[in-house]
Amino acid sequence: SGVLRIASIPGDGIGREVMPEGLRVLDAASRRFGFQLQITPIEWASCDYYLQHGTMMPADWKTQLADLDALYFGAVGWPATVPDHISLWGSLLKFRREFDQYINLRPVRLFKGVPCPLVDQRGQPRQPGDIDFLVVRENTEGEYTKLGGILFEGTDRELVIQESVFTRLGTDRVLRYAFELAQRRARRHVTLATKSNGIAISMPWWDARADAMQAQFPEVSLDKQHIDILTARFVLQPNRFDVVVASNLFGDILSDLGPACTGTIGLAPSANLNPERRFPSLFEPVHGSAPDIHGRNIANPVAMIWSGALMLDFLGQRAAHDAIVQAIEQVLASGPHTPDLGGTASTTEMGEAIARLV
Amino acid sequence: SGVLRIASIPGDGIGREVMPEGLRVLDAASRRFGFQLQITPIEWASCDYYLQHGTMMPADWKTQLADLDALYFGAVGWPATVPDHISLWGSLLKFRREFDQYINLRPVRLFKGVPCPLVDQRGQPRQPGDIDFLVVRENTEGEYTKLGGILFEGTDRELVIQESVFTRLGTDRVLRYAFELAQRRARRHVTLATKSNGIAISMPWWDARADAMQAQFPEVSLDKQHIDILTARFVLQPNRFDVVVASNLFGDILSDLGPACTGTIGLAPSANLNPERRFPSLFEPVHGSAPDIHGRNIANPVAMIWSGALMLDFLGQRAAHDAIVQAIEQVLASGPHTPDLGGTASTTEMGEAIARLV
Ligand SMILES: CC(C)[C@H](C(=O)O)[C@@H](O)C(=O)O
Ligand SMILES: CC(C)[C@H](C(=O)O)[C@@H](O)C(=O)O
């Protein structure tokens, strides 16, 4: 112990531009807080690698990574040359599943200096404290499957079956994680995303599993909301949420919508966790590889840097996490800002400014 | 012809309070525009009926309704006494499926006088013209099924399979409807909600069906967006949408989120259409039976009234539709308003005010 062993996997597009800023800030934190970092740079898990090797990752990817403490991941995908189902299922979704990163944790938080698209009922801008909740998403099973198929293909009778698979193990552990998290927070409230009035087998079952879990956490309140009205409430009453727990698909939706409600998905971080640390966890921006702005050194590095802070927190460096988040807060409030926030700073300048404040 | 034969089915809760206002406005429109209405009041398809008869609808419901021109529907559900899966699958979802109302059409439009929760990138309030699009939802199949089951029930190995079923017939007809609609609009743009990077069988197939349909409508542009980022764009760039087409589940989500972006789902109407008129179509507010405000004559009747306007439009009374929507516009802009809009008017007063302007 003492040394944190981390793979840096930039991936594609702006992943390659924000990664150096993430590493710069990690480095600053390690010097300030006196922990050691050992970074293993990984060039695969990228579309470039795929175009050269015909596969997204080498055959021994698992042994190369399994003993590390965490994977620090940029963004993957370059649809113009490699279809998403190859690049994503061949890297990111493989990590999540084969390293059993069953929690996808995404903080949703409004910062000073980031224009919020929402106003409250009286037309007043939402204030930073108004939006501050966590989305806990099941990250390994559920609606994301290749199970099913096409019948009567190519005819008028063509029929497609798509199966979702939820296990008690997979569902209970994400529910438990959400309740444990809520128990440590001031409001102690869990919102479950459901759709039991329409999706008639799996979602009533989710409701029942959530009720059973709630019985073990009597101090935590539970609120089950259908995904349709829940998305509406993210916009109309974002202040009422504390911990929101959801299936893979519903969590995917809510963890893009939530950050959008705070101004941009460009700042949002995510943690793909194997809480027991049997396998390395993975930390990545919510944003993608953004081919449209790639190569210009203008991508906002905050999501990458904030993801690094989540990684340090997970690895026991809580103080370093807090210092990085405070540095982010300060730079968001008073600059320098990249063009997405109306500024003229480069990715590098914004990363340097945050690193200096850590 | 000449006579429009319509069932009025108030259902439960505030459905019973907004229905009289809907009928009041239809009546005003019939006098002004010289068409005749023959209203058949239906007391079943309600939880009261269920509590007395043990079923939501009589055995001959289909023959009672099949020859009518349309069903004008309030809201169904009273979860305190009847579980949703009984009340909804026993009435509303039965109508949609057995009367093959395969299009669920929901206009999303910002009105003057309704506080919008969104501001634009410069912090300026969104203007009415900024948000004006249509959600076209597949309404009979897809993710809403009772297909699947539970394996190893009650054990730690418990496993749930939920199947979605999409047919070429069902998918192509909703895509065609959306493209035809877009072709008649100024912007001629269709956005498809997809999630082909995660839901690996059905969604890539939806993408391919949409591409095939687009080939038949060369003047209409098509944009495929993953549901996660699409919900984010509803909040950040609601002005970029024209016609949004989606599966049953994705359409359900987008047609609550869209109206929320215009201030409230309380005003939103919906049309459940069998475009060929082989069966009666159904017109209903997007809101539910709202047990919390029921019995106080304070529910906003606009969604019910606007749904009535959609019904008249579908039945060939375009001028009456336009007059009702204008009357709604005027009352939303200058009152009287029910409490949800900050006013003190009753349901009846707001309904009367709209009827007077038709
Ligand atoms: C009540 C429910 C089954 C229904 C749906 O999901 O279709 C409702 O949300 C709607 O959108 O009409
Ligand atoms: C790229 C895609 C497969 C992925 C997901 O849906 O999980 C992304 O949207 C995310 O949220 O991490």
Evaluate: CB of A141 within 6 angstroms of ligand 2: no
Taking alpha carbons only, the member of A311, A305, A285 closest to residue A21 is A305
Q: State how far the Cα of B290 lies from the Cα of B14, in Å rounded to an integer.
A: 6
Evaluate: CB of A86 within 6 angstroms of ligand 2: no
Q: What is the pLDDT of residues B219-263, one digit of tens each?
A: 999 999 999 999 999 999 999 999 999 999 999 999 999 999 999
- Measured in Å, residue B279 CA sits from the centre of ligand 1 at 20
Q: What is the pLDDT of residues A227-237, one digit of tens each?
A: 999 999 999 99
Ligand showing the shortest atom-to-Cα distance for residue A272: 2
Query: How distant is the Cα of A197 from the closest Cα of chain B, in angstroms?
Result: 6
Q: State how far the Cα of A66 lies from the Cα of A40, in Å rounded to an integer.
A: 12
Please state the three-class secondary structure of chain B as a single string: CCEEEEEEEEECCCHHHHHHHHHHHHHHHHHHHCCEEEEEECCCCCHHHHHHHCCCCCCCHHHHHCCCCEEEEEECCECCCECHHHHHHCCHHHHHHHCCCCEEEEEEECCCCCCCCEECCCCCECCHHHCEEEEEEECCCECCCCCEEEECCCCCCCEEEEEEEEEHHHHHHHHHHHHHHHHCCCCCEEEEEECCCCCCCHHHHHHHHHHHHHCCCCCCEEEEEEHHHHHHHHHHCHHHCCEEEECHHHHHHHHHHHHHHCCCHHHCEEEEECCCCCCCEEEEECCCCCCCCCCCCCCCCHHHHHHHHHHHHHCCCHHHHHHHHHHHHHHHHHCCCCHHHCCCCCHHHHHHHHHHHC
What residues in B contact A255, CB-CB < 8 Å? 228
Supply the DSSP symbol for A196: T
Taking alpha carbons only, the member of B197, B201, B206 closest to residue B172 is B206
- Residues B48-53, mean pLDDT to the nearest whole number: 97
pLDDT greater than 90 at residue A296: yes
Q: What is the pLDDT of residues B254-268, one digit of tens each?
A: 999 999 999 999 999
Q: State how far the Cα of B173 lies from the Cα of B266, in Å rounded to an integer.
A: 29
Locate the ligand 2 atom nearest the alpha carbon of residue A255 and give its number: 11
Question: What value does the mean pLDDT of chain A take?
Answer: 97
Ligand 1: which of B91, B92, B249, B286 to mutate, judged by most atoms within 8 Å of the beta carbon?
B92
Q: What is the pLDDT of residues A188-222, one digit of tens each?
A: 999 999 999 999 999 999 999 999 999 999 999 99
Locate the ligand 1 atom nearest the alpha carbon of residue B76 and give its number: 1
What pLDDT, on a 0 to 100 scale, did the predictor assign at position B2?
Answer: 77
What ranges in chain A are assigned the alpha helix state H?
15-33, 47-53, 61-65, 84-87, 92-98, 168-183, 202-214, 227-236, 248-261, 302-314, 318-334, 347-357
Q: What is the pLDDT of residues A117-160, one digit of tens each?
A: 999 988 999 998 899 999 999 999 999 999 999 999 999 999 99
Number of other CB atoms surrounding residue B35 within 10 Å: 19
Between chains, do B158 and A146 touch, taking CB under 8 Å as contact? Answer: no
Which CATH entry fits the domain spanning A116-262: 3.40.50.720, 3.40.718.10, 1.10.10.10, 3.20.20.110? 3.40.718.10
Query: How distant is the Cα of A38 from the closest Cα of chain B, in angstroms?
Result: 33
Amino acid residing at B1: S
- Measured in Å, residue B286 CA sits from the centre of ligand 1 at 8
What pLDDT, on a 0 to 100 scale, did the predictor assign at position A85?
Answer: 85
Domain spans of chain B, in order of start: 1-108+266-358, 116-262
Ligand showing the shortest atom-to-Cα distance for residue B96: 1
Topology classification of domain B1-108+266-358: Isopropylmalate Dehydrogenase (3.40.718)
Task: Name B138's bridge partners.
Answer: B103
What pLDDT, on a 0 to 100 scale, did the predictor assign at position A21?
Answer: 98
Please name the CATH architecture into which domain A1-101+268-358 falls.
3-Layer(aba) Sandwich (3.40)
Taking alpha carbons only, the member of B109, B105, B17 closest to residue B304 is B17
Cβ-Cβ contacts under 8 Å for B120 (sequence gap 6 or more): A117, B126, B130
- pLDDT band at residue A84, thresholds of 50, 70 and 90? confident
- Residues B19-25, mean pLDDT to the nearest whole number: 98
Supply the DSSP symbol for A209: H
Upstream peptide bond of B125 is cis (omega within 30 degrees of 0): no
What pLDDT, on a 0 to 100 scale, did the predictor assign at position B84?
Answer: 87
What pLDDT, on a 0 to 100 scale, did the predictor assign at position A1?
Answer: 53
pLDDT greater than 60 at residue B1: no
Between chains, do B235 and A118 touch, taking CB under 8 Å as contact? Answer: yes
Q: Are A261 and A48 in contact (CB under 8 A)?
A: no
Assess whether the region A1-101+268-358 and the region A116-262 belong to the same CATH fold: yes
